[in-house]
Amino acid sequence: MIAPRLEVDLSRIRYNAQVLVELAAARGVSVTGVTKAMRGLPALAEAMLAAGATTLGDSRVENIERLRAGGIDAPTVLIRSPMPSQVARVVAAADMSCNGEVDVVAQLSDAARAIDRVHGVVLMVELGDLREGIMPADVHEAVARCLDLPNIRLCGIGANFACRSGVVPTDRNMSVLSDLADSIEAKFDIELEFVSGGSSANFGWLRSTAHIGRINNLRFGESILLGCEPLHGARIVGLHHDATTIVGEVIESKYKPSHPWGDRASAPFDSIRPDADECSSGWQAIVAIGHQDTDPSALTAPEGVHILGASSDHLVVGSEVPLTVGAEVAFRPGYSALMRAMTAGLHA
């Protein structure tokens, strides 16, 4: 088989999605399945939909186009604010988009009118993580402007957490979003279909809160794919944590000292700190994977193997017993490792 490669067990992903959909449904919350880490792979979307996800989200319009080309006709939402240069593609491919700039919504309206469509808009609200969104005090004005645009349907508001500053979703910031939903509906006499509270970072809040408020949608990617919640990198009990695997092939295996010798300067990639005993010699192997293929610092090695370092195309591992040249080694990817493996084309 081809190496390196990314293996994906869609039945485990579907199971994870189903558990999360049921947990959310019990709180009156729908799940948007987020496909961006796998570049809008239609088979992933099918697994998420079969599990009960009601909408699909991706941050890139080309991934939404890939879903469409793959025969997926479920409602889609672009979860990153559209680039003005792409509004025509966005309204053609996606049913909805998340937006932080009303001027761009106006361009979406023009683009939608040109093809005789109505485009759904979720206005993103900044609630402290300082990535995307309109400041809460400015949301009513943004709503008023959106309601004046002919080919736009304001279908909700949303927020995002823990993607830039690690700000945690709590009852306090979720209630700000809920209160905004109430005040918008009262002031403008409309009904918001979506109050979308966040991502996998909201899992802990979803499970524990006694105040779900108006939140009726969450956008889950990582928790479905990896069975983890990103705030603490914790495994979610009851989910599969091994649905994705990155497999590489051993190209050298030697007994080597653990300390380099010679005068030393910097190496191009030095983010990985050896976790092994640095004083002794040991079995060292090279697996033919590197930074071009994945994020080596976000790989977990199998039992008995530890990652010592990586460059663009070499992953240096230590092991208790020598690895065989030509043998395959299977690693568990974290989110960044999975994402980069997909963009590097490790998945057939």
Q: Is 254 a residue of the active site? A: no
For ligand PLP, give the closer residue by CB, 63 or 223: 223
- Listed in sequence order, the residues at least 6 apart from 76 whose beta carbon sits closer than 8 Å to its beta carbon are 55, 56, 57, 58, 64, 67, 68, 93, 94, 95, 96
Question: Is residue 32 helix, strand or coil?
Answer: strand
Residue least distant from ligand PLP (Cβ): 221
Shortest Cβ 255–ligand PLP spacing (Å): 41
**Contact range with ligand PLP by CB under 6 A, out of 43-51, 187-195, 199-207, 241-249:** 199-207
How many CB atoms lie under 10 A from the CB of residue 116?
Answer: 7
- The distance of closest approach from Cβ of residue 327 to ligand PLP in the complex, given in angstroms and rounded to an integer, is 32
Interface with ligand PLP (CB under 6 A), residue total 14
CB of 83 vs ligand PLP, minimal distance in Å = 15
Lay out the site mask for ligand PLP across 217-256 (x = CB under 6 A, - = otherwise).
Answer: --xxxxx------x--------------------------
- Cα separation of 160 and 59, whole Å? 13
At 178, list the tokens: 């809920």
- Binding mask 140-169 vs ligand PLP (x if CB under 6 A, - otherwise)? --------------------x---------
Q: Which of 173, 199, 209, 294 binds ligand PLP (CB under 6 A)?
A: 199
Least Cβ distance, residue 201 to ligand PLP (angstroms): 6
Instruction: Please name the residue that has the structure tokens 């979307």.
Output: 45
Does the protein bind ligand PLP through residue 79 (CB under 6 A)?
yes
* Residue 252 CA: distances (Å) to CA of 76, 157, 322: 46, 54, 10
Could you list the beta-strand ranges (E) of 146-257. Answer: 152-158, 194-196, 217-220, 228-229, 234-235, 244-256
Q: Which stretch binds ligand PLP (CB under 6 A): 215-223, 265-273, 313-321, 337-345?
A: 215-223
Name the DSSP letter for residue 210. Answer: S
Closest CB 98 distance from ligand PLP, rounded Å: 6
Cα 327 to the chain's mean position, in Å?
Answer: 31
Q: What is the rounded end-to-end Cα distance, in angstroms, of the chain?
A: 11
Residue 302, preceding peptide bond in cis (omega within 30° of 0)? no
Beta carbon nearer to ligand PLP, 55 or 178: 55
C-beta separation of 141 from 158 below 8 A? no
Residue 86 and residue 67 in contact, taking contact as beta carbons nearer than 8 Å:
no
Restricted to residues 6-35, the positions that interact with ligand PLP (CB under 6 A) are 34
* Coil, helix or strand at residue 76: strand
Encoded one letter per residue, x for contact with ligand PLP by CB under 6 A and - for no contact, window 299-338 reads: ----------------------------------------
Burial class (CB in 10 A: 0-12, 13-18, 19+), 237: exposed
Binding mask 54-73 vs ligand PLP (x if CB under 6 A, - otherwise)? -----x--------------
Catalytic positions, written as ranges: 36
Q: Which residues bind ligand PLP (CB under 6 A)?
A: 34, 36, 59, 79, 160, 199-201, 219-223, 230
